[in-house]
Amino acid sequence: MIMDSRAAHPAPMRQSMPTPNPATDASSAGLPTAQRVTRLLGERLELVEDLWETVLRSECPPEQAERLLRLKRLSDPTEGEAGGTGDASGGDATAAIVQLIREMDLAEAIAAARAFSLYFQLVNILEQHIEEDSYLDSLKNQDSCPSDPFLPALANQTDPATFRQLFARLRNLNVPPAQLENLLRTLDLRLVFTAHPTEIVRHTVRHKQRRVATLIQQLEQGSGLNGLERQSLRLQLEEEIRLWWRTDELHQFKPTVLDEVDYALHYFQQVLFDAMPQLRDRIRGALQVSYPDVEPPRDAFCTFGSWVGSDRDGNPSVTPDITWRTACYQRQLMLERYIKAVAELRDQLSISMQWSQVSPALLESLEMDRLRFPEIYEERAARYRLEPYRLKLSYTLERLRLTHQRNQQLADAGWESPCDGNAPPPPMGGNLAAPPSQELHYSTVDEFRNDLELIQDSLKGTGLSCESLQHLISQAQIFAFCLASLDIRQESTRHSDALDELSRYLQLPVPYGEMDEEQRVAWLLAELQTRRPLVPATARWSAPAAETFAVFRMLQRLQQEFGSRICRTYVISMSHTVSDLLEVLLLAKEAGLVDPLAQRAGLLVVPLFETVEDLQGAPAVMATLFRHPFYRALLASDGSQPLQEVMLGYSDSNKDSGFLSSNWEIHKAQIALQRLAIEHGVALRIFHGRGGSVGRGGGPAYQAILAQPSGTLNGRIKITEQGEVLASKYSLPELALYNLETVTTAVLQNSLVSTPVDDTPSWNTLMGRLAARSRDHYRALVHDNPDLVAFFQQVTPIEEISKLQISSRPARRKSGAKDLSSLRAIPWVFGWTQSRFLLPSWFGVGAALQEELDQDPDQLELLRLLYQRWPFFRMLISKVEMTLSKVDLDLAHHYVQALGRSEHREAFEQIFQTIAAEFALTRDLVLTITGHSRLLDGDPALQLSVDLRNRTIIPLGFLQVALLRRLRDQNRQPPMSEATSNPSDDGRTYSRSELLRGALLTINGIAAGMRNTG
């Protein structure tokens, strides 16, 4: 057996939701969105469960398949296995689950873990299609929505709006066209993909999932299919899932940074490249309906960034060479897409000069191209003698191919190589490109776009248009040749350490490391404003300092070759002081990225304020910088004002002070920073470092953006998109468009419709009290309890998580350190999620609310009012409610009892009771404030989804505990020993590697079931 002899005590019956009654007619047209989603989930779940059962019966021995199916029935009381619906039956079901797991050998336990992981991933695919279908349905029915008199005030709306709906409502509110046009003119949305260690699914498995998703969609939408066609699709589905079943879910090796780059860029290749022109068309079409005279935003109103291959904070694998190769790889992908698109355009634009006029400008460019590419002219002129567009596109194709060839040479040669094959490297600040008269490749994307626009203008002059051409021009605007801008990120002490080493080499009277903050700022500003080199070219440095200097030299080379768009942002994590920013500027100046005489910088230095203390001190830091004329002069311009970007970190502030305190400090910091920016005439762009989970700032983006303080966005926002959410947001075209459209409408809505409640003094005072109390309660448990670190390490699978081959970055900032401060926020949240505590997302909220009510019971009515009227407070309570709905303290208690060591039993039980009491208090108060009878009553579709997952995930939790217990008992043995001093009751023994594999598979399954990791 694999189950430890200490079985869990029978748990009380978990609250469940009745099984949906599938309609005979799959159509749910006319139903409210929530009801429609609920019905679709009920209808389509039958297909998924039938497929799952069929595959298990095909792939597992009959007795094993029956036990797995029984395990599934036991985990779902609505299926009647336990008999009845009372508490006793719930306890009986749990006891039966425990007994079944006891009887499993390791092979069957692994099969169970894989089976439930497969089930949840099929359900995830199903829900993604339902989200996509709901969005398409909202597009069909959007015309009727604006006239509904019962819609909530736009400032209080929580359901995502389409462009058509938003513009119609703005028109009804008499928002002036000029005001909307001014906002659209400066609209700037930036979504930054990251590679944090949260994406747990292999690339290979993702390919299987996409194939299955496509087949399910064809089957669901195939109303016109005959019986044979439906049967064929069904057989293909079964075959594909069986292939998936026989594919290893675990990564075979730790992914390299370039593996992560490939994974993240997949979404651009498969979905976003084609989706972005459609987003442009939708916003333009919606404006035509409600604001026909308003000029649409520029094509590149929404662009993308990436940390994958450039985020070096704590990741020694991200070297200058890796960042260079990442940039080359991104350009390669874009060039290949452009080559394909231009080739297709050449086939399409077969217009003959015999039947259509051609602009003189196009004819003139053809003559220039003939001189530059005589071989292309000789090859193509006869064929395309009277087809000028095809001839022009042939020249364009050749230039793209030459650009692609040059890019490959640069990737192979590396960033330190000469700029061109045999040419010597140019001097610092020189031009990497060859003289224009000799260039045959495209040195900039503008040259490529100009060729396309020349064709477009000629077509327009004769009354023609070409949608494919327009889409390609839009893609060139949005993605350029770089696809996504790379943000460099590095921890602040790396820069100060390098400068300290430099100062000691230069024998400064006071080494940099011994200067106080005032001395540092004075020295840095003095050095920034001189052209004298500071870093000797021939000196030898320690490895960290040498790499720090090399990063800036690589950046200068990168901008010379690719243009400034490829990498212009440098994020300083753990920013505390003014000197943290000036240090980066000085290092950039030494590499030629800052010109002290012209007072221009090729790099935007972005502080990342992460802890509560740093968030509180952020306005003072930025005020000091804004007051210095030289720093202000270095700021990039958004066209009319100097632009400062500031990043706010949700993860570490949450780990430091808890959910409520973190969110309130970020909210306050935004308001203070915006006021400061206005005072100094600076445009501010807030960069939100949101994670996928609520404990790291995650949750629905629409509501989160609406909850931002009024007046802080002004049409500008930058948001991280974590690895774990990429698949749920960008794996399907309409799902990607839904996410992009709702983010855009939320930014427009927040920027145009003010909510002055953010300035209500009494409300802010109340929130300040709640945040302080919540923080005290959180820190008393997490930071002040001496047993908490041991509790976390023993009763969550944190150590096993670190063994998952899911990231190129280590789980801890300092190797070997076991303290809480060294642990990254992502595995911190991951561990609590796996064990079903989800503590970082809610702990401390209930105690803070209760203390407020103890002081004044009448405050309950005010709290209810805040939930109704204040988007920020409603967002907080909604996130807590959603997280609480996923908590399972019965299962969590089993982790404590089975995995906690005997010497900690009493201390761990006290910690658990503290958590359980806070959970009950928080749940009851959230229900009281929202007026709901059950958690998530306000969102029936989400409630159904969470209920389904909660009850079905139970066996995986018990399996995980059993495997972890056995694995940890084996840790005293040699790594690959088959022998054990503590054999199970049936005499079976397993190697540590086998048990670790089983445990890691349960981690995969629970991550899929919870729909998030860290």
Active site residues: 196, 655
Is the separation of the CB atoms in 745 and 161 below 8 Å?
yes
Size (the chain), residues? 1014
Task: Please name the residues in contact with 676: beta carbons below 8 A apart, sequence gap of 6 or more.
Answer: 619, 622, 623, 626, 682
Residue recorded with tokens 């204040």: 870
How far is Cα 302 from Cα 924, in angstroms, rounded to an integer? 41
SS3 sequence of 387-412: CHHHHHHHHHHHHHHHHHHHHHHHHH
Residues facing residue 717 across a β-bridge:
189
Radius of gyration of the chain (CA): 30
How far is Cα 323 from Cα 484, in angstroms, rounded to an integer? 13
| Phi, psi dihedrals of residue 340, rounded to the nearest 5° | -65, -45
DSSP, res 354 = T
Burial class of residue 317 in the structure, from the number of CB atoms within 10 Å of its CB (0-12 exposed, 13-18 middle, 19+ buried): middle
DSSP, res 985 = T
Is the separation of the CB atoms in 887 and 787 below 8 Å?
no
How far is Cα 947 from Cα 888, in angstroms, rounded to an integer? 11
Task: Please name the residues in contact with 169: beta carbons below 8 A apart, sequence gap of 6 or more.
Answer: 146, 151, 154, 161
Q: Which two tokens stand for residue 717?
A: 């926002």
Q: Which amino acid is at 709?
A: P
Burial class of residue 408 in the structure, from the number of CB atoms within 10 Å of its CB (0-12 exposed, 13-18 middle, 19+ buried): middle
| Phi, psi dihedrals of residue 629, rounded to the nearest 5° | -60, -35
How far is Cα 227 from Cα 229, in angstroms, rounded to an integer? 6
How far is Cα 381 from Cα 366, in angstroms, rounded to an integer? 11
Is the separation of the CB atoms in 352 and 458 below 8 Å?
no
In this structure, the dihedral spanned by the alpha carbons of residues 375, 379, 382 and 383, taken in order and rounded to 10 degrees, is: -140
Residues facing residue 637 across a β-bridge:
642
In this structure, the dihedral spanned by the alpha carbons of residues 35, 36, 37 and 39, taken in order and rounded to 10 degrees, is: 80
How far is Cα 162 from Cα 278, in angstroms, rounded to an integer? 14
Residues facing residue 821 across a β-bridge:
none
Using N-to-C axis directions, what is the helix angle for 761-782 and 659-679, rounded to 10°?
Answer: 130
End-to-end CA distance of the chain: 31
Is the separation of the CB atoms in 669 and 849 below 8 Å?
no
Task: Please name the residues in contact with 247: beta carbons below 8 A apart, sequence gap of 6 or more.
Answer: 204, 205, 208
Helices marked H in 835-970 — which ranges? 845-855, 859-869, 871-886, 889-899, 905-930, 940-952, 954-970
Cα atoms in the 13 Å half-sphere on the side-chain side of 271 = 20
Q: List, in sequence order, every beta strand (DSSP E) within 230-374.
A: 302-306
How far is Cα 265 from Cα 72, in angstroms, rounded to an integer? 37
Q: Beta strands 188-193 and 485-491: pairing type? A: unpaired
How far is Cα 396 from Cα 338, in angstroms, rounded to an integer? 10
Closest CA to 572 of 602, 534, 600, 610: 610
Cα atoms in the 13 Å half-sphere on the side-chain side of 633 = 13
Residue recorded with tokens 């070297």: 319
